Structure 1
Amino acid sequence: MTVTAGLLGAALVSIVMPTNPATAQPNSASSWEIVEPAPPPDDFYELPADLASYRPGAVIRSRPVQLAAPPARVTTWQLLYRSTGMSGAPAAAVTTLLVPLDPPGPHRLLSYQAAVDSTVRTCAPSYTLLHGESADSTEPAPIETPSVDRMFAAAGLAQGWTVAIPDHGGIDNRFLTPRQPGWAVLDGIRAAAAFAPAGLAGTDTPVALWGYSGGAIASSWAVEEQPGYAPELNIVGAAIGAPVRDLPAALRSVDGALLGGLIPVGLGAISKDSAEFARTVAGYLTPDGQARVAETRRHCVQQNLTSNPWSRLDQLLRVPVEQALADPVIARELAARGISGRSPTAPVYLYNGVNEEVAPIAATDRLADSYCRGGTPVAYRREELPPALPPQTFTTHGAVYAAATPAAFAWLKQRMTPGAAPMVGCDIQSLPSTSATPEGAAEFGSFLADALPGAVNPGR
């Protein structure tokens, strides 16, 4: 890995490092009452009484907004739009739209799915990009996730692309919900493409999708649902990094790892979707486990990871892990969030670490195989970065995020190039690191030059 790659890696890996792991303590509450914080008053998010009369993707209302650290020569809007909820009923979501004032080339749209990993509205991009996450945290995070989101948006804006950052959890603020995040992403693209101030070409607009980890879950659902839900959209490619699409494997793999705080986050998120799952999993949790899961429903991912490093299932559960995973209710809900078997029609750049601890590589291998067998053009890159060894003060998940980003962006740029040759077949490679490939190495400098200014927030 180059020195530049290491600098970016240090920045991105530090996102998930606990600020003071030696003093992180269990939450003191012991009841299973889960009370999410009420969102701050904002009429913009209010749904109209006639929501069902809007077609999916229709803009309900819009407003110009000012980001906490706005890029130069960009106008920024937020769109509240009609979408579809987890049960198939009418729902809504918000996307934050960044429109360059002087794009150098044809109008194109990048839909960047952030790794929100929370069920709280003030953790969604429509809020954090404007206000940050500081109000959520009792311990300040070293780098807030909005800084990373602005980095990736800045890289797209530098290409002259309009960038949409949707709240893919929807107005109800879901996480790990099957299908719904894909619908929210697709309807956000519809809304942006039809929004006149964006200056896009409607459904003819070339669109790329990008997401890592929690953002990759939403992106993968979007490309899988697109042929049936939004076939009119012109999605030219999707870069999907470390998608967590096998939750039992992920729970086993992240058990005791630095990012083990994702375990109570996931259990809490699914509990929000299913009252039956919530009751069932509560019966297997210790009082402290119940308290930890309930508390994650009150915070953003940064705070939850800081508060729960190295979480272990055997410390949260009062029964063996495999007994809980074998429960029919738990098994059913985890399976519903697994590999769907649906094949995207858009080309996919899939990447993950061979020694990944959050999204196990075997599951990503199966996802790639599912796409390939269905006829999806796939470029799959398996990064062979080393594993995190005891005492687990390092995250391969974060290292791959940093090292693989430039090559993924280079692939997106190629797919967004006018007249790009169609991609066919499947190309699967295991590499020491895509940062050392010609395309990855060539992209690193320009990506850093374009993206790093987006991480600076002089107002905070």
Structure 2
Amino acid sequence: MNVLRTGIVWALTGLLVLLGAPLASADESPRPTPAPWQEWIDRAIPAPALPAAPSPPNGELPPDLSALWRAVLSPATGDPIFDAWPTGLADRSPGELIEWRDVTATTAPLALVPIRRAILLKFRTTAATGIPAFGTATLVIPAAPWTAAGTRPVAVNALPINSLGQRCTPSYAMAHGVHAKFNAGDLFPPTTWWALGRGYAVLIPDHEGPWMSYAEPTVAGHIVLDSIRATRAFAPEEFADSRFAVGGYSGGAIASYAAAMLLDEYAPELAGVLVGASMGGLVTDYRAVARRFNGNVASGILLVVALAMAREHPELLRSMNHLARWVAISPIKDTCGDSNGPLGVTGLPIEIAANTADPIGTPAADAIFRQSDFTDRKTGVPLYIYHAAHDIWIPAEGSEQLHRRQCARGVPAVRTLVPGEHVIGLLAGFPGAIDWLDGRLRALPAPNECPPAPAEPR
């Protein structure tokens, strides 16, 4: 056991290996080629003994890996609205409301601004693999009446959840109050407070989904869009004709960006309903960020992303060595965003937990990176893109390329660099982002800082 405890520290960064796992079925998957020292790790450390289990609903696995998949999921919260999978999901439409709960009493102290009502929504959504799933979100309505023209607009606050544990989600906090796993990022910067103070309703989606699939863009985009559908269905007299605009930073930016990119494909009836998306500190190139994070103090983020991806794509578990399996079933699987970053201080390379010599460079890794790449799509809404000028982890070139490509496709877009590195960029970019969102919610024309199109040749 002492060897295992030491190995857990060594393996923190190594869980990114999951991104390089085979995507084929059990019968088709080629065996990875480990280095001799990787083979030694598996000889020295036995695999955890787990009871055999049937394949998960989102993939076909042998019994031992199916058991591992169940063991790496977040522990249940104890609240059925977050834990229980509804029956008959396949017979429901995406965004269809399943149940709701009034959480005004526990949300009011966190809202600061007086509120009329807070509602926890549970609705049908679609997993990244295409199977039916469920999502949750909280709708907060201010006490002040809406006196401007039209119906009350809704600001969609895609918070940077960045977590593996279900109790780390914002809706759990709003349903249960401040608790041991409360995320400070739920409150700051004060997007929710600002929007409520402006008279807007605020919709806060738990965009990592029921398996807490942090950084899985399809999951995040689907849940944002389905939370809008569920809100309109819950109170059509108040929100069926409302404008919605979504904003997020870092992990939240993934959700905002994905919702904008998937709008036309997944929720075309929301065209004109979702009227804008802001995003800051956005990762658009997962491959580049994986290379940049490998073997340095940012490896804690890679840990949670890798494990989260394996929950949504269970075939990825095939590339974990025995050491990584012990880590994945440890209390790490329940960590929140406030503690994930410090997990990577050992700075060891990802190969330490792999059963293949080059996990990032495999063809299977390419498949994951391609799936997470939305750069060939056209967004369905105007964009506000901001990035910290000195962000050493997420290259600013990604936001510049996003702006240029969307401009070329005719999307009204603004891009701005703000002072600082990644964390400071969150604060420095906040005023500009909320000012832009305010304009979209007030139905002002979206500003466009795209370069003029080249003149047609005569």
What is the TM-score when the length of structure 2 is the normalising length? 0.75
Cα contact 2:214–2:304 (8 A) shared by 1? no
Deviations 1:187-213 (A, max 9, x none): 1011112322x85331x3111100000
Q: Kindly indicate whether the alpha-carbon contact (under 8 Å) linking 1:36 and 1:297 is maintained by their aligned counterparts in 2.
A: yes
1:310–1:199 Cα change, 3 Å? farther
**Structure 1: 5+ residue runs without aligned partners?**
1-24, 138-142, 386-395, 429-460
Name the SS for the 2:72 alignment partner: coil
**Are the structure 2 counterparts of residues 374 and 262 from structure 1 closer, same or farther at C-alpha, using a change threshold of 3 Å?**
same
Match of 2:238 among 196, 200, 214: 200
Partner of 2:148: 105
Match of 2:110 in 1: 69
Contact kept in structure 2, 1:378 and 1:425, CA below 8 Å: yes
State the shift of 1:156 in Å.
Answer: 0.7
Q: Name the counterpart of 1:447.
A: none
- Match runs of 1:424-439 below 5 Å: 424=448, 426=450
More relative contact order in 1 or in 2 (CA 8 Å, sep 6+)? 2
Equivalent residue, structure 2, for 1:173: 212
2:249 is aligned with 1:212? yes
What's 1:94 paired with?
Answer: 136
Give percent identity, aligned residues only: 26
Deviation at 1:112, TM superposition (A): 0.8
* Structure with greater Cα Rg: 2
Query: Structure 1 residue 95: deviation in Å?
Result: 0.6
* 8 Å contact kept, 2:419–2:425: no
Offset at 1:215?
0.6
Q: Which amino acid aligns with 1:43?
A: P
Give 1:330-409 correspondences, 5 Å limit: 330-385=365-420, 396-409=421-434
Matched AA of 1:105: A
8 Å CA contact 1:267, 1:293 repeated in 2: no
1:153 equivalent among 154, 176, 192? 192
Query: Is the partner of 1:69 in helix, strand or coil?
Result: helix
Task: From 306, 312, 316, give the equivalent of 2:347.
Answer: 312
Instruction: Kindly provide the amino acid, as one letter, of the partner of residue 301 in structure 1.
Output: G
Q: 1:26 aligns to what SS in structure 2?
A: helix
CA contact under 8 A between 1:59 and 1:79: conserved in structure 2? yes
- Whether 1:249 and 2:291 are equivalent positions in the alignment is no
Query: Which amino acid in the other structure matches residue 380 of structure 1?
Result: R
The offset of 1:319, in angstroms, is 8.1
Whether the 8 Å contact between 1:268 and 1:294 is mirrored in structure 2 is no
Q: 1:324 to 1:49 in 2, by over 3 A?
A: closer
Q: CA deviation at 1:323?
A: 3.0
1:273 to 312, 317, 335: 312
The equivalent of 1:126 in structure 2 is 171
- What is the aligned residue count? 380
Does residue 301 (structure 1) correspond to residue 337 (structure 2)? The answer is yes
- When the two chains are superposed, the root-mean-square deviation of aligned CA atoms in Å is 3.0
1:350–1:380 contact (8 Å) kept in structure 2: yes
Alignment counterpart, residue 98 of structure 2, candidates 24, 46, 60: 60
| Contact kept? 1:59, 1:82, Cα under 8 Å | yes
Q: Is the 8 A contact 1:71 1:154 kept in 2?
A: yes
Structure 1 residue 113, shift from structure 2 partner: 0.7
The answer for unaligned runs of 5 or more in structure 2 is 1-7, 13-44, 49-67, 453-458
Judged with a 3 Å threshold, the aligned counterparts in structure 2 of structure 1 residues 253 and 427 are, in CA distance, closer, same or farther, namely farther
Q: Which residue of 2 aligns with 1:432?
A: none
| AA matched with 2:128 | M
1:343–1:369 CA distance, 2 compared to 1 (3 A): same
Distance 1:133 1:356 in 2: 31
Change (3 A) 1:421 1:275: closer
Change (3 A) 1:320 1:172: closer
- C-alpha deviation, 1:178, in angstroms: 3.6
Change (3 A) 1:132 1:356: farther
CA-CA distance at 1:273 after TM superposition? 2.4
Using the TM superposition, give the Cα deviation of residue 179 of structure 1 relative to its aligned residue in structure 2, in angstroms. 1.5
- Change over 3 Å in CA distance of 1:278–1:360 after alignment to 2: farther
Deviations 1:135-166 (A, max 9, x none): 349xxxxx7223327x2111111111100000
Alpha-carbon spacing, 1:134–1:319, altered in 2? closer, same or farther (3 Å): same
